Amino acid sequence: MNSNEVHKGTKKLKCMNHDPEKSKWGEYAPESGSCDEVVIVDINTDKVLCFRCTSRSVSGVSKFTA
């Protein structure tokens, strides 16, 4: 499977922090502004926070460069 393919029952979503101004977790977006991560998720998923932004949120580090 290459990076442009997804398995049946999955889809690609941008990290919620692609638009930090509208994201519940915007304070954990990269210092550069928006997050460019795309995550493959279950077809029933509506929103996702990528592993990098999640890591910043649980470590208490906000606004650091990815």
- pLDDT of residue 65 exceeding 80: no
Nearest partner of 11 among 34, 41, 52, judged by Cα: 41
CA distance 61 to 46: 25
The per-residue pLDDT for range 12-41, each reduced to its tens digit, is: 999 999 999 999 999 999 988 899 999 999
Task: Tell me the pTM.
Answer: 0.76
**Residue 59, pLDDT score:** 77
The per-residue pLDDT for range 46-62, each reduced to its tens digit, is: 999 999 999 988 876 65
- pLDDT of residue 4 exceeding 80: no
Residues 6 or more apart whose CB falls under 8 angstroms from that of 46 comprise none
